[in-house]
Amino acid sequence: MSKNIHRESEDMELKNYLSHLKVNLVVAAYTHCPVYWRDIDYIPDYNKFYFICDGEGWLKIGEQEFYPKPGQLFFMPAGIKQSYSTISDDTFTKYWCHFTAKIGDVNIYNFIKFPFFIDVVNKKEITNLFLKLISYYDSKELTSPLYAQAILIELFARFIENVSIDNLCLYPSVSIK
């Protein structure tokens, strides 16, 4: 029973953190990666979503290596050493974006730990969200940044809701107070 109470308390705290999340889109695009697509051991100050549509390649996030498959959505957090590269002539086609995601002045991954990727169940939905995100990124309309933020929040929510609750946990030493 005390385990359930602890889980409920942590769930409430997770909801509180997520309710304070602020995002800002840096760039969004759909790309067929060139064979020279590569960067090794760098630490970005922005987060990334990669939604893999086709092809193959390699990602390294922290010390974990991945060979993403079509239909997987990867989250690559700011402040963590990363690498990426092609592995053949059959390079990725992917929807992608760079963005900040902070609670207060702190990157979200410093508050909440979750897996780096999900297997997308509804690929059409995620594709449509990226298409809207790219459209708002490219738009000159006054309100386009607001719509882009809304779509980015929805993408983040879709990612989080597809992570098992057992794979979400709080870092105990960080507070938004």
CATH number at residue 32: 2.60.120.280
What CA–CA distance (Å, rounded) separates 58 from 62? 13
Q: Which residue has the higher pLDDT, 31 or 111?
A: 31
Determine contact, residues 33/77, Cβ cutoff 8 Å: no
H-type helices in the chain, by residue range?
Answer: 2-19, 123-138, 144-161
Determine contact, residues 134/31, Cβ cutoff 8 Å: no
How far, rounded to the nearest angstrom, does the alpha carbon of residue 62 sit from its chain's CA centroid?
15
What CA–CA distance (Å, rounded) separates 1 from 124? 40
In the predicted model, is pLDDT for residue 82 greater than 50?
yes
In tens, the pLDDT along 110-158 reads 888 889 999 999 999 999 999 999 999 999 999 999 999 999 999 999 9
What CA–CA distance (Å, rounded) separates 103 from 23? 9
In a domain, 7, yes or no: no
In a domain, 128, yes or no: yes
In a domain, 135, yes or no: yes
Q: Which domain holds residue 49?
A: 21-170
In a domain, 14, yes or no: no
In a domain, 29, yes or no: yes
In a domain, 66, yes or no: yes
In a domain, 15, yes or no: no
Q: Note the pTM of the prediction, 2 decimals.
A: 0.90
How many domains does the chain divide into? Answer: 1
